[in-house]
Amino acid sequence: MAKKSSKIYIIGAGISGLVAAKTLEENGYTATLLEATGEPGGRVKTATIDGVPFDHGFQVLLTDYPQAKKHLSYDALNLHYFKPGALIFKDGKTERIGDPLRDRSAFWPTLSASIGSLGDKFRIYQLTRKLKAKSIAQIFATEEQSTSDYLKAYGFSEAIIHNFFKPFFTGIFLEEELNTSSRLFEFVFKMFGEGYAALPAKGIGAMAGQLVGNLTQSDFQYETEVSKVSAKEVHLKNGKKLRADIVISTLPLDTNGQITTQKVAWKSCDNLYFTVEKPTFETGTIGLVANTNCLTNNLYYLFEQQQNGDAVLSVTVVKKHQKNEAELVEAVVQELKKECGIQVKTFIKNYHIQQALPDIKNLSMEPSSSSIKHPLGIYMAGDHNLSGSLNAAMASGEAAANAVISDLKA
Ligand SMILES: Cc1cc2nc3c(=O)[nH]c(=O)nc-3n(C[C@H](O)[C@H](O)[C@H](O)COP(=O)(O)OP(=O)(O)OC[C@H]3O[C@@H](n4cnc5c(N)ncnc54)[C@H](O)[C@@H]3O)c2cc1C
């Protein structure tokens, strides 16, 4: 096989596909990315309106993600950082829980917050230290249980689980019961403890923009929907067939190579944006609503204001609901007033994200040799192959590309 000139197709130009293309380029191989939509980035998407970046769903880059450190240039992303911890809205009161080791001003508010006992706060400190010492490989080799069971077994009180862990991790896992694997909990808690949650100044989509901008050889074919693949052929939805030497799919496939994204169990959310005359709490702070009857899970003020000086508030709803947009907006507006004392000025927009995170059991850090290669000989990437996170998407793309390179060299 003419190795460097092999025809390599990557199906999907999300973060995993882009990192696969980057890894191939770094090793002298060139790929063509086939993307169903008109732009790269997949679930990492920002719409910029009048200079304000509206992310399609609140997501953060955890700066200590090993894969992100390898594949992104943080300086060029001009990152805004969130303060460690959160502001918790509960029963008409606002309490702050922070990391006194990194933010001295958080010491007294954290110690005196009534959302958990002193023992709970000590256990948070202890857990942070324990996970600092535990490697990521050790985390993913530890037996899994639900995060909820893990927290109880660790000795945390019902109060701190209800008031802090539940709202905080509901926003990350996009599910309210904390049924998500304790491996992901430990990994994310470690990442929060060792780095910062951050957003590029131009929105989360800038991450994809940077990866695309650094690709010099790869070819992109947009509005190109793939229906089925085999090791040597790509079938497009329009009936066309493309001959291939190598196919990397970032999308789940059935045993016949048919794309089965619709069959994955997906977790969804709504992300609403409002204007508020003046921010009611500090920019760079994540607010959490501890009342589990509320639709609102988390809120933060965008680092950028609207051109007329209004602050922009992002609100995430994770709870399942049957409301239409007008009903949802009305319910959230009332909750913001009652729970957080926030009077919104205008509703800007809502992004309903039906396929936000794949619901996966048996989480791993790296794909196994069986999961990286489909029985039909297709190389597999995508967060659905590991766990729903930017780090996992990047790891899966890199691993699939490395498997291709190693097979082409063999
Ligand atoms: C609301 C939300 C919040 C999140 N929060 C966080 C967070 O805080 N931290 C974190 O680390 N991660 C978070 N994530 C997860 C992270 O964004 C994903 O893990 C990652 O973007 C997945 O990348 P991917 O390449 O695996 O998949 P995708 O981004 O889904 O890429 C797949 C690509 O394939 C394309 N495609 C689909 N079907 C076809 C087809 N038939 N033919 C051709 N192309 C096709 C899609 O258009 C897409 O571009 C969040 C995600 C969402 C949506």
Q: Are 398 and 367 in contact (CB under 8 A)?
A: no
Q: What is the percentage of the chain residues whose pLDDT exceeds 70?
A: 96
Query: CA end-to-end span of the chain, whole Å?
Result: 11
Which of 390, 394, 396, 398, when mutated, tests ligand 1's pocket best, judged by the most ligand atoms within 8 Å of its CB? Answer: 390
Q: Are 173 and 357 in contact (CB under 8 A)?
A: yes
- Position with higher pLDDT, 274 vs 114: 274
**C-beta of 13 in contact with ligand 1 (< 6 A):** yes
**C-beta of 383 in contact with ligand 1 (< 6 A):** yes
pLDDT value at position 114? 76
CA 316/CA 336 separation, integer angstroms: 12
Please write the tens of the pLDDT for every residue from 165-216: 999 999 999 999 999 999 999 999 999 999 999 999 999 999 999 999 999 9
pLDDT value at position 98? 79
Å from CA of 6 to ligand 1 middle = 27
Q: Are 253 and 259 in contact (CB under 8 A)?
A: yes
pLDDT at residue 48 is higher than 70: yes
pLDDT value at position 101? 65
| Closest atom of ligand 1 to CA, residue 385 | 26
**C-beta of 205 in contact with ligand 1 (< 6 A):** no
pLDDT value at position 368? 84
**C-beta of 12 in contact with ligand 1 (< 6 A):** yes
Please write the tens of the pLDDT for every residue from 113-129: 677 888 998 999 899 99
User: What domains sit in the chain, N to C, each tagged with a CATH number?
Assistant: 8-44+205-264+364-409 (3.50.50.60), 83-195 (no CATH)
Å from CA of 2 to ligand 1 middle = 33
pLDDT at residue 281 is higher than 60: yes
Ligand 1: which residue has its CA nearest to atom 34?
A: 12
Please write the tens of the pLDDT for every residue from 389-407: 999 999 999 999 999 999 9
| Closest atom of ligand 1 to CA, residue 358 | 19
Å from CA of 38 to ligand 1 middle = 15
User: Based on the number of CB atoms within 10 Å of its own CB, is 19 exposed (0-12), middle (13-18) or buried (19 or more)?
Assistant: buried
CA 272/CA 328 separation, integer angstroms: 9
Q: Which whole number is the average pLDDT over 355-384?
A: 90
Tokens for 176? 């309210």
Q: What is the percentage of the chain residues whose pLDDT exceeds 90?
A: 84
| Closest atom of ligand 1 to CA, residue 16 | 25
Ligand 1: which residue has its CA nearest to atom 3?
A: 59
- Mean pLDDT (the chain, rounded): 94
CA 388/CA 182 separation, integer angstroms: 14
pLDDT value at position 104? 66
pLDDT value at position 2? 40
**C-beta of 35 in contact with ligand 1 (< 6 A):** yes
The DSSP bridge partners found for residue 93 are 90
**C-beta of 37 in contact with ligand 1 (< 6 A):** yes
pLDDT at residue 49 is higher than 50: yes
Residue type at 378 in one-letter notation: I
Work out the pLDDT band at 132, boundaries 50, 70, 90: very high
CA 200/CA 187 separation, integer angstroms: 22
pLDDT at residue 1 is higher than 50: no
Ligand 1: which residue has its CA nearest to atom 29?
A: 42
How many degrees, rounded to 5, is the angle at CA 23 between CA 19 and CA 24? 115
Question: Among the listed ranges 92-96, 180-184, 238-242, which one has the minimum average pLDDT value?
Answer: 92-96
Is the four-CA dihedral 156, 159, 162, 166 of positive or negative sign?
A: negative
pLDDT value at position 107? 67
Please write the tens of the pLDDT for every residue from 287-302: 999 999 999 999 999 9
pLDDT at residue 341 is higher than 60: yes
pLDDT at residue 331 is higher than 60: yes
Å from CA of 403 to ligand 1 middle = 22
HEC secondary structure over the chain: CCCCCCCEEEECCEHHHHHHHHHHHHCCCCEEEECCCCCCECCCCEEEECCEEEECCCCCEECCCHHHHHHCCHHHHCEEECCCCEEEEECCEEEEECCCCCCHHHHHHHHHCCCCCHHHHHHHHHHHHHHHHCCHHHHHHCCCCEHHHHHHHCCCCHHHHHHHHHHHHHHHHCCCCCCCEHHHHHHHHHHHHHCCEEEECCCCHHHHHHHHHCCCCCEEECCCCEEEEECCEEEECCCCEEECCEEEECCCECCCCEECHHHCCEEEEEEEEEEECCCCCCCCCCEEECCCCCCEEEEEECCCCCCCCCEEEEEEECCCCCCCHHHHHHHHHHHHHHHHCCCCCEEEEEEEEEEEEECCCCCCCCCCHHHHECCCCCEECCHHHCCCCHHHHHHHHHHHHHHHHHHHHC
Ligand 1: which residue has its CA nearest to atom 5?
A: 59
pLDDT at residue 103 is higher than 50: yes
**C-beta of 204 in contact with ligand 1 (< 6 A):** no
